[in-house]
Amino acid sequence: MSIHIDPRSLRKRKNREAQFKALSYMAISVAGIFLVIFFADIVRQGYTAFQQTEIAVEVTYTQEIYDNPRSAIDEKIAPLVSRGVTRILPMHLRENPQLMGKTEKLWVLANAEVDQHVKGKANRLKPREVTLVDEMRAAGEIRKAFNTGFFTNGDSKLPEMAGILSAAVGTLYLLAITFAFSFPAGVMAAIYLEEFAPDNRLMHIVEVNINNLAAIPSILFGLLGLAIFINFMGFPRSSALVGGLTLALMTLPVIIIATRAAIRAIPDSIREAALALGATHWQVVWDHVLPLSLPGILTGTIIGLARAIGETAPLLIIGMVAYIQDMPRGVTSAATVLPAQIYVWSSESLRAFTERTSAGIIVLLVVLLSMNAVAILLRNKYERKW
Amino acid sequence: MNRFLKKTVFALALLVVGSGMAHARDQVKITGSSTVFPFSSYVAEELGATTKFPAPVVESTGSGGGHKLFGAGMGPNTPDIANSSRRMKDSEFETAAKNGVVDITEAKIGFDGIAIAQNKDNEPMSITLEELAMAVAADVPVDGKIVPNPYKMWNEINPSLPARKIVFYGPPTSSGTRDAFEEMVVEKICGKIEGYEKGYKKIRQDSAYVPAGENDNLIVQKLSKDKDAFGIFGYSFLEENADTIQAAAIGGVTPDAETVASGKYPISRSLYFYIKNAHYDAIPGLKEYVELFMSEKMIGKDGLLKGIGLIPLPDDARAKVREDVLAKKKLTLDDLKKK
């Protein structure tokens, strides 16, 4: 008996396949194009922020500085210099009285308007100042240098001074606190649910609820944090401790789910072999299941933490989206985080903050991408096939 | 398990230590209006940079949210200062008093205009406050009856206006700018017309008014694409983006520092902050912050805050306010009741 294939039907099926392939291809291209446009736009707007304009000035220390700090600099050039430079002169002189009467030649920060002009962006310089800046630039007295201030300063209202240091340190604090609370709790909860929990109705309810928690909008965790940690426990508002605990609540279900999946992937033969040799149930978990599932657990944890450091919504509720200039000096002092810093800059009226906003986004994206890369590397290195 | 156990114990210990702290604070805490936020944080930074005190923490919660936190009680866990883009409400004063916040000083720092702006390429537009109200109100009088706003084009309101679609990008309901706009435009006009209920100030909810989020930069960006549209936002954004947008004249007056300060431009409001006087002794830097904020260097005629969009008070008013604030003049309910 021969199998009869209708050539028309075959063609039709092959056509279908081609169409389906084309559609899938289009879907991935659209996603790819959006991603490229997004990255390109952010980089285009933000790359200029990694350079900052500096200006060469002669600073003369006189008694007059105490009343009018700007008098230290030639009055023609003074309007081009950042306020961040002149306003600290009185304090600098008070601490270093030997400078009185001396003149120093320094490269100092130019103000944001000069900076934007040098970078070819819209600015509010007066025509007279524009000529002066162009002359000084031709004479080599205005230069663009790598913007170290962006990484070593805290937030500022002067765009040329604004940096991400305090937000970055705040993010580290939050990350550490989030990890310290959610990792042990999450892993232990998952071990219990996978290895020890009885199979009854109560446990099913717990399981369903954990899965639901992972899908709750993050802002609700902010409300929970406000109610429990600030209003009930009385921790200080805006502090890294409250922020970290709130994000820990949010990350907990993610870690539990990832850990359970990792534990479930360990074949039963491992457990049975250990039990057969007389190990207690506890020894099986501690000596065999946990070490073998650790790469999976860590991958899940890193992805959960990466999600947590990109969060602003819950932090808005607990007062961390604010003007916080200084680095946190402990878990109870006020702190802000990178995404909150980006949000604050994006609503500034001064246009020089636009490039800073984009530069902040670039830094955050780099951090997130590296965290995800570490997760992938861990998985590839330690992944075992059974 | 030992490592995990240790971590958990450590975590719990941290929690206990944390909750045991009714700690003193060495940093001023400020909360409230997002309109006052840029000025407040500017002064905060200046204080941090030029003195030994750490820079105060300034939170932007909106005026209402700020008063709620401010009036929640006394002590280091409550803010020392509430920023506000309107006067404190009687109800807020009473709540605060009930929670033990009785000695408050009010500081008026200047004005903020609300600009009605459009794309720079458009013909300049001049409308009256009435025409503006008729374009944005939810209900308008037609033939003596109050009906849901039927106007789609400006020339339907007044034939002498251009045949241009009515589109506004403005602040959402959560915003203080929106409150102020409702009061100064819709309530002011509709309150005078018969047939409206008392205190009417509803803004239309159809496609003619698009709530565009709290971020005024987004509204400015929208105007460069949508040439029919008008944007409603704070004066400082108009000043900063003068190369791409222009303000409409309201009743023949365009907003600038002078017309807003003199009150000739009709859509402007005063900005305030409120201080807990009892916190002066406990919180280092609070006195210095208030003194710096009230100084001529900051809110003066050519002060630093003018550079970022604050419109200063007239000279004599400024001197009076400064004197009252530095003397810690106690705010009373009667002060709030008289306008």
3-state secondary structure chain B: CHHHHHHHHHHHHHHHHHHCCCCCCCCCEEEECCCCHHHHHHHHHHHHHHCCCCCCEEECCCHHHHHHHHCCCCCCCCCCEEEECCCCCHHHHHHHHHCCCCCEEEEEEEEEEEEEEEECCCCCCEECHHHHHHHHECEEEECCEEEECCCCEHHHHCCCCCCCECCEEECCCCCHHHHHHHHHHHHHHHCCCCCCCCCCCCECCCCCEEECCCCHHHHHHHHHHCCCCEEEEEHHHHHHCCCCEEECEECCECCCHHHHHHCCCCCEEEEEEEEEHHHCCCCCCHHHHHHHHHCHHHHCCCCHHHHHCCECCCHHHHHHHHHHHHCCCCCCHHHHHCC
For residue A141, give the nearest of A189, A76, A71, A230 by alpha carbon. Answer: A76
Q: What is the pLDDT of residue A65?
A: 86
Average pLDDT, chain B: 87
At residue B292, does pLDDT exceed 80?
yes
* A325:B240 CB<8 A: no
Task: Tell which of A94, A196, A323 to mutate to test the B interface (max B CBs under 10 Å).
Answer: A323
The pLDDT of residue B12 is above 70 = no
How do residues B103-133 score in pLDDT, each as one tens digit? 999 999 999 999 999 999 998 999 999 999 9
Of all residues in chain B, the percent with pLDDT exceeding 90 is: 54
Residue B196 has what pLDDT? 82
How far is B87 from A174, CA to CA, in rounded Å? 37
Predicted local confidence at residue A357, as pLDDT: 95
pLDDT at A1: 59
Mean pLDDT within B232-240: 88
Q: Which chain B residue is nearest to residue A230, measuring alpha carbons? A: B77
Q: Which residues of B touch A157 (CB under 8 A)?
A: 38, 41-42, 45, 308
With CA atoms as reference, the chain A residue closest to B79 would be: A237
Q: What is the pLDDT of residue A7?
A: 81
With beta carbons less than 8 A apart as the criterion, state whether B47 and B288 touch: yes
Whether residue B248 contacts residue B206, with contact meaning beta carbons closer than 8 Å, is answered with: no
Q: Do B23 and A181 touch (CB under 8 A)?
A: no
Q: How far apart are CA A58 and CA A71, in angstroms?
A: 11
Query: How many Å separate Cα A234 from the centre of its chain?
Result: 27
Measured between CA atoms, how close is A286 to chain B, in angstroms? Answer: 7
Q: What's the confidence (pLDDT) of residue A365?
A: 93
Predicted pLDDT at B23: 55
Q: Which residue on chain A is closest to B310 by alpha carbon?
A: A349
ipTM of the complex: 0.84
For tokens 């959402």, what's the residue?
Answer: B172
**Lowest mean pLDDT across A294-303, B40-49, B195-204, B268-277:** B195-204
Q: For chain A, which residues score pLDDT lower than 50?
A: none
pLDDT band of residue B22 (cuts 50, 70, 90) is very low
In angstroms, how far is CA B268 from the centroid of its own chain? 10
Confidence of residue B242 (pLDDT cuts 50, 70, 90): confident
- Chains A, B: CB contacts within 8 A come to 114
Within 8 A of B60 by CB-CB distance, chain A residues are: 321-323, 344
φ, ψ for residue A61 (rounded to 5)?
A: -90, 115
- 3-state SS, residue A345: helix
Q: ∠ CA A148-A149-A154 to the nearest 5 degrees?
A: 140
Which among A91, A157, A344 has CB closest to B50?
Answer: A91
Structure tokens at A176: 């550490």
pLDDT at B330 over 60: yes
Instruction: Classify B100 in phi/psi space as left (phi over 0), alpha (psi -120 to 50) or beta.
Output: left
At B257 the pLDDT is 85
- Residues in B touching A234 (Cβ below 8 Å): 19, 22, 77
Distance (Å) from the alpha carbon of B255 to chain A's nearest alpha carbon: 17
Least Cα distance to B27 among B64, B77, B62, B67 occurs for: B77
At B21, the pLDDT band (50, 70, 90 cuts) reads very low
Q: How many CB atoms lie within 10 A of CB B169?
A: 23
CA–CA min distance B181, chain A (Å): 19
The pLDDT value recorded for residue B5 is 52
Q: Which residues of B touch A344 (CB under 8 A)?
A: 60
CB distance A76 to A52 below 8 Å: no
Whole-model pTM above 0.90? Answer: no
Nearest to A346 among B10, B60, B217 (CB): B217
Quote the pLDDT of residue B76.
86
Tokens of B219: 């509204």
Interchain contact, A236 vs B42, CB within 8 Å: no
DSSP state of A236: P
Q: Which residues of A touch B240 (CB under 8 A)?
A: 124, 349-351
- Rounded Cα gap, residues B330 and B339, in angstroms: 17
Q: How far apart are CA B85 and CA B90, in angstroms?
A: 15
